[in-house]
Structure 1
Amino acid sequence: MTTTGRARPTTAPRRGPAGPTASAAPALEVTDLTVRYGAVTALDGVTFALAPGRVTGLVGMNGSGKSTLFKSVMGLVRPTAGQVRVLGQSTELARRRGVVGYVPQQEDVDWSFPLSVRDVVMMGRYGRLGLTRRPRRADHDAVDAALERVELGHLDDRQIGALSGGQRKRAFVARGLAQGAQVLLLDEPFAGVDKRTEATITTLLRELAGDGRTMLVSTHDLASLDVLCDDALLIQRRILLHAPPAEVLRPENLARAFGVDVSDARPATVSAPSGASPAEVAR
């Protein structure tokens, strides 16, 4: 899985048109989801469905509701209206069974906490440890396999904060794999990593999709959207478009989401215009 330089990774075969197919029930189904924080509407009637074995990009400016959507899928936010189903289950049941996992942004984690890489990945087994909370052989084997899958087995004893940005991301992917998650949410996995690490993570996510896992990836790296994703969701509190990357990247569609005149359909990054917005609280 090792890549060099700025080469584009070899990706797994694409899975056909966007959205679930007739032969596959949705891995993630969101229906009329509305979330309000006081007077601020973070999500307004969000509806989409993702089939198994796909990588879907989540594209929108800061304050568009991306993080609120992730929290809703994880069952951490109670919706004002609508529902979320993960593999046909409620969010609470999906989280308890470990079928949905989350890879956070860098700034959401206290990297000074004295945990090793193995400790972090073992957290994915917590729901399976039983009353004693003591890892068994099967738990250690699952952690070993996950670490090898993300190429961090040789760093398992290292303190998590001592890893590079890309290695930290892979450690949290490994936590989801050890957990047995079939649906993974990744919040800005390419923020703060170099191009080589980006290619490594992209190749890993494509391989996981080939295994049948479903990934929803929040990203501002629009230049690599077509390499990583089968399809993308364009969000501005509601879903403006669910389509292949090439369609989402059309200038007129990006302009709808970002509220600016986008003349280049393939910018490296797009960020929110300066100035505070009431929607920032809903990010």
Structure 2
Amino acid sequence: MTVAQPLLNRACGPDIAFAEVDLTLGRTRILDKVSFNVAAGSVHALVGPNGGGKSSLIKTLLGQMPHHGQLTLTWPGEEQIIGYVPQALEFDRGLPMTVDDFMAAMCQRRPAFLGLSRKVAPAIDAALQRVGMLDKRKRRMGALSGGERQRVLLAQGLIPAPQLLVLDEPMSALDEAGIQVFERLLHEWRAAGTTVLWIEHDLEAVARLADRVTGLSRRVLFDAPPKQALTPDRLLSLFSIHPRSESIA
């Protein structure tokens, strides 16, 4: 069985500090004074009920949501490379867009219809190889299974090599082979010192693979290593709270 290993290498990713982060949309408070830290080079999981604010929190981190409070990233050097893997890819499945076309659109400045640039092609080859999709690069994205599309999303998150990687339920559509690919990548990111902030519903995977877990249901209910965080009492409390019961008068 795969288990989380202690951090041995110097981190290349940032420390992240959320300090009393509030987010209100309309009359609904989505995040209520959220405070916790993500250690540099760690795999940090966010767990909680649907609607509990997990995706909103990472959108806040990525600068896509207005908020109150402080959000601080402390980088170890001048480079500040952030990778993001969304939960799913929404697109017209009838489009004649191949895996190569998608990777070109996501990973290079040159228009995708001109093909892969020589500068980026080796990195795209390597990323597709790492996720086991190199032999399907000429397939249409719409013809792939949900798990195969998720592997392609993982591949685009590898280019350029991120120092901070934000993952929004990356295991949701993966089959068993895809899960093994993801777990291998997670260990590689940890070994490289990449900071990983990971939303996940698979609590068994979180228990094995995360260094620390934050339970979020509009506010932080716990923040601890997996063995301390994922107890029956804490999980019952986390998943029994209605996350959006508070409205702003």
1:246 aligned onto 2:246:
no
User: Residue 182 of structure 2 corresponds to which residue in structure 1?
Assistant: 201
User: Residue 211 of structure 1 corresponds to which residue in structure 2?
Assistant: 192
User: Residue 57 of structure 2 corresponds to which residue in structure 1?
Assistant: 69
1:109 aligned onto 2:97:
no
User: Residue 13 of structure 1 corresponds to which residue in structure 2?
Assistant: 5
Aligned residues: 241
Shift in Å, 1:224: 2.0
Q: CA RMSD in A?
A: 3.1
1:255 aligned onto 2:231:
no
User: Residue 181 of structure 1 corresponds to which residue in structure 2?
Assistant: 162
User: Residue 100 of structure 1 corresponds to which residue in structure 2?
Assistant: 82
The within-5 A match list for 1:1-283 is 8=1, 10=2, 13-15=5-7, 26-79=14-67, 81-88=68-75, 99-106=81-88, 108-110=89-91, 112=93, 113-126=95-108, 136-259=117-240, 278=244
Equivalent pairs: percent with the same residue? 34
Q: 8 Å contact 2:15–2:74 — kept in the other structure?
A: yes
Q: 2: distance between equivalents of 1:25 and 1:221?
A: 25
Structure 2 CA distance for partners of 1:117 and 1:135, relative to 1, 3 Å: closer
User: Residue 267 of structure 1 corresponds to which residue in structure 2?
Assistant: none
TM-score for both structures, normalised by structure 1:
0.74
Shift in Å, 1:235: 0.6
Shift in Å, 1:57: 1.3
Unmatched runs of 5 consecutive residues or more in structure 1: 1-7, 261-271
Unmatched runs of 5 consecutive residues or more in structure 2: none
**Deviations 1:204-254, CA, capped at 9 Å, x for gaps:** 222222112122221111122222211111111122222111111111211
Structure 2 CA distance for partners of 1:41 and 1:207, relative to 1, 3 Å: same
Q: 2: distance between equivalents of 1:167 and 1:76?
A: 27
Q: 8 Å contact 1:124–1:176 — kept in the other structure?
A: no
